[in-house]
């Protein structure tokens, strides 16, 4: 099994969505027989190229927010667009 294959698996993605921190995410991959580091996972969510996408800009755009960077990162890893990791008031 690969990281990409696991990310496409709906049941696994749902388990990841419930993770509380990066250590839990790495452990979930390990339980499926995939060794991955936090840095490798972070690289998957960074913009490719020199320009930010519209979704990248929306993730940091105005408004008062309570922000949880881990949730924002996890949403990107799972392929959710926009919304970042915060809750708007």
27-69: pLDDT as tens digits: 999 999 999 998 888 887 766 665 666 766 666 555 544 456 6
- What token pair was written down for 48? 């490719």
Q: What is the pTM of this model?
A: 0.60
Higher pLDDT, 57 or 14: 14
With beta carbons less than 8 A apart as the criterion, state whether 78 and 7 touch: yes
Residue 13: per-residue pLDDT: 87
With beta carbons less than 8 A apart as the criterion, state whether 38 and 70 touch: no
What is d(CA 53, CA 68) in angstroms, rounded to the nearest whole number?
20
- Checking if the pLDDT of 19 tops 60, the result is yes
Quick one: average pLDDT of 13-40? 90
């Amino acid at each position: 099994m690969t990281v990409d294959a696991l990310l496409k698996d709906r049941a696994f993605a749902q388990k990841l969505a419930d993770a509380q921190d990066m250590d839990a995410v790495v452990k979930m991959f390990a339980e499926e027989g995939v060794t991955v580091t936090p840095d490798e996972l972070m690289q998957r969510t960074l913009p490719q190229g020199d320009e930010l996408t519209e979704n990248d800009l929306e993730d940091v755009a105005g408004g008062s927010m309570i922000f949880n960077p881990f949730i924002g990162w996890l949403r990107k890893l799972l392929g959710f667009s926009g919304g970042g990791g915060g809750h708007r008031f």
